[in-house]
Copies of this chain bind each other. A is one copy, B any other.
Amino acid sequence: MDFEKATDKRVTLVGAGPGREDLITIAGLREIQSADVLLYDALVNTKLLDYAKPNAQRIYVGKRSGKHSLSQPEINALLLECALTKNHVVRLKGGDPFVFGRASEEIEYLESFGISVGIVPGVSSAISVPASQGIPMTKRGVSTSFWVMTAATKEGCFSRDLKLAAQSSATMVILMGVRKIKEIASFVSSYRIKQTPMALIQNGTLPKETCITCTLNTAQSAFATVDITQPGIIVIGDVVADQSSFYDEEIQRVLHSYL
């Protein structure tokens, strides 16, 4: 029995999806159900924790813009401690673990102690949150590629990739950029035509989801009162025109600028 338990020990990184609880995968839900301990992030829907065994330990290790409850080394150490003392450890991350999820760091840390890590991918917020607003990543005759990036480098300035992306015809998806959204619009408008549509979606796939659409040209007024304490996903590209209220919002904004 002890031997069986010992071989049963494992750590699984699970993508929780973009927000709505039923956007987790079947495989992901099964891992939650068999977990002895769950370490979960800020962007994970906490309703998912209800599917865990009643006696499973639930540990919040969330990070939010500017507010770290645990540093990455602290999370790594906690993961290791759990892996050594519990049978099945589930590390639950918002969206997909391999998209800006720092999953690789956690995997490498655990593997350096001989602990192998399973991965269950999740529905990435980068793709599915725009989708929830009817914005596709690619569309025949409109966009044949998409580029997912963060706004700023560790040094705080815009990355060279942001410039190349602005010069390309790719749909741009920018994560962790809400605080700089007006600067981003201004920067990209040096390279793309000013009528290029743009969107900011916050609380994606959740009941309180909001979406603001505009063009690069009207972005400064459109995003004047955005709640920058909430994370959000920025999309720039002609595909944004597929969002249902894009044309109405833009006409209102242009008309208003003449009043």
Contacts and interface: CB of A to CB of B under 8 A. Distances in A.
Interface of A: 15, 17-18, 20-27, 29-30, 96-105, 107, 119-124, 127-128, 130-132, 134-140, 142, 144-150, 153, 159-161, 164-165, 167-170, 239, 242
Nearest 5 A-B pairs (CB), nearest first? A145-B149, A121-B128, A22-B27, A98-B136, A22-B26
A interface majority secondary structure: mixed
Given A137-B98, A145-B149, A22 B25 contact: yes
Contacts of A128: 96, 121
Contact of A144 (B29, B105, B131, B153): B153
* Copies per assembly: 2
Nearest to A15: B123
A75 B160 CA distance: 42
18 contacts: A17-B25, A22-B25, A23-B26, A23-B121, A26-B29, A96-B123, A96-B131, A98-B136, A99-B127, A102-B140, A105-B140, A145-B148, A145-B159, A145-B161, A145-B165, A148-B148, A160-B169, A164-B164
Nearest to A102: B140
Contact of A161 (B30, B136, B137, B144): B144
Given A144-B161, A145-B159, A25 B123 contact: yes
